Amino acid sequence: MTDLTSLTLLEQRDGLKNKKFSSEELTSEYLKRIDKKNKDINCFISIDDSAIEKAKKCDEKISNNSGSVLEGIPIAHKDIFCIKDQRTTCGSKMLDKFISPYSSTVYEKLSNAGVITLGKTNMDEFAMGSSNETSFYGSVKNPIDLERVPGGSSGGSAAAVSANLCSFSTGTDTGGSIRQPAAFCGVTGIKPTYGRVSRWGMIAFASSLDQGGVFAKTALDASLALENISGFDPKDSTSINKKVPSLLSEASSNDMDHIVGIPKSIINNIKDVKVKNNFEESIKILKKLGIKTKEIELPNLEYALPVYYVIAPAECSANLSRYDGVRFGYRCEEPKNLDDLYSRSRAEGFGDEVKKRILIGTFCLSAGYYDAYYIKAQKIRNLIKESFLNAFKEVSSIAMPTCANVSFKLNSIQSPVEMYEQDIYTIPANLAGLPAMSVPSGKINNLPLGIQFIGNYLKEGVILNLANKFQEQTDFHKQV
């Protein structure tokens, strides 16, 4: 009998529609697999006990031919998306007992599309990390090698897809937190244009950078999943009021022309020879398909990392000020006075990485430093955005490695700067608000690598199409 959990999202959708198997069977197989595998991987924080009952209701709709587009598909949500009357922890002791009074727009959209939530996935605390080692609930392990990290902050969601513990999963990407884990775990991950997916009910880290997206086995799966979480939301003031095209149709089209930009100076400066060779081999695959490439320059990108680590902590400092022990979240025991309540609740409720970023951000926003750091960083951010806009006058997308290296061993990076450098190739797309995705491009010592495609604003279909064409010629995405 076919292992239902190894099927792609499209195969599962068609199998359910044609009644080759039931949603109850599919959901049951995932839950059994989670029960067996999660002890080692630690990618789930919580499991939804009502999943089987929901699957039975989906089967009734499917039998009556009244099911929605994703009816009966079992998925996982990063534990940053609120679900009404369920615990949403954000990987933090601060929210360990928080029961959300409302649901995120992403959850609502997928629920309306007929999906079944299997559970909430583990993550770096408040999405702050590149390795999934900062979670209050312990480190997530990479399913490919349990001694290595899955990447962060959406490592739990990436690991769940890689280990066949869900059909697809949601994640968030502030500086690469979908693409880097996708590369480390050998799956496909996409973050859309900033504003394409609503941030309502998605717990904030850095509001001008955060963006919801998805992990899946293939580019076609990702296109269908992304299409169903995208769209205008009046509850989110940053939401883009543009019609969402059929991303699945665009991704599978044979007609789309491509000119892929290769940022020459960035590629020449890749330190790891094996990573550089893998990227060049990936470009050769595109060229064999008849896809045109063009060397480009992206000036000012060398400033992306320092700019990000001014802006992101500054916004984090403002967003996390709401966790004060008064209204919701962790509260210290027997506070002596209001100051003691504030200081001890935050000291006991936040982990070290979160505290570090709050302090950095508060410093950057303080009187005397605001102009020198935060305002200057925003000015350079605009220069980075202009670099991309100029490049897109000549090319339809840009390719570069997703990461500078393969997954590293747990607890092997102790230097904060070295950890921050994990996002060196992914951060620029967040600063510019551009859509970007990672797809598997090969392996080094049996550990996956990813190639990253960055598109122009609202051109998710272009990079999804490019990624699908790449996957049609390779089997890297089938090797996990």
| 355 has catalytic annotation | no
First to last CA, the chain: 20
What is the phi/psi pair of residue 56, to 5°?
Answer: -65, -40
Query: Which residues does 331 contact at the CB level (< 8 Å), separation at least 6?
Result: 325, 341, 345
Question: Which residues sit opposite 399 in a β-bridge?
Answer: 453
Q: Sheet containing 397-401: which strands, arranged edge to edge?
A: 44-47, 116-121, 74-78, 169-172, 212-216, 188-191, 436-444, 447-455, 397-401, 259-263, 292-296
Helical segments of 350-403, H only: 352-365, 376-391
Distance CA 271, CA 148 (A): 21
Angle between helices 376-391 and 304-319 (to 10 degrees): 120
Burial class (CB in 10 A: 0-12, 13-18, 19+), 473: exposed
| 78 has catalytic annotation | yes
Question: Which residues sit opposite 76 in a β-bridge?
Answer: 119, 169
| 387 has catalytic annotation | no
Helix (H) or strand (E) holding 46: strand 44-47
What SS3 class is residue 286? helix
Distance CA 301, CA 393 (A): 18
Catalytic residue among 78, 120, 191, 459: 78
Catalytic residue among 177, 223, 230, 441: 177
Residue 370 φ/ψ region, left for φ over 0, alpha for ψ in the -120 to 50 degree band, beta for the rest: alpha
Contacts 24+ apart (CB under 8 A), 275-280: 275/401, 275/403, 275/404, 275/405, 275/444, 275/449, 276/401, 278/401, 278/441, 278/442, 278/444, 278/449, 278/451, 279/399, 279/400, 279/401, 279/441, 279/451
CA distances to 164, 379, 399 from 184, in Å? 15, 32, 18
Catalytic residue among 22, 103, 153, 438: 153
Distance CA 163, CA 37 (A): 8
Active site residues: 78, 153, 177
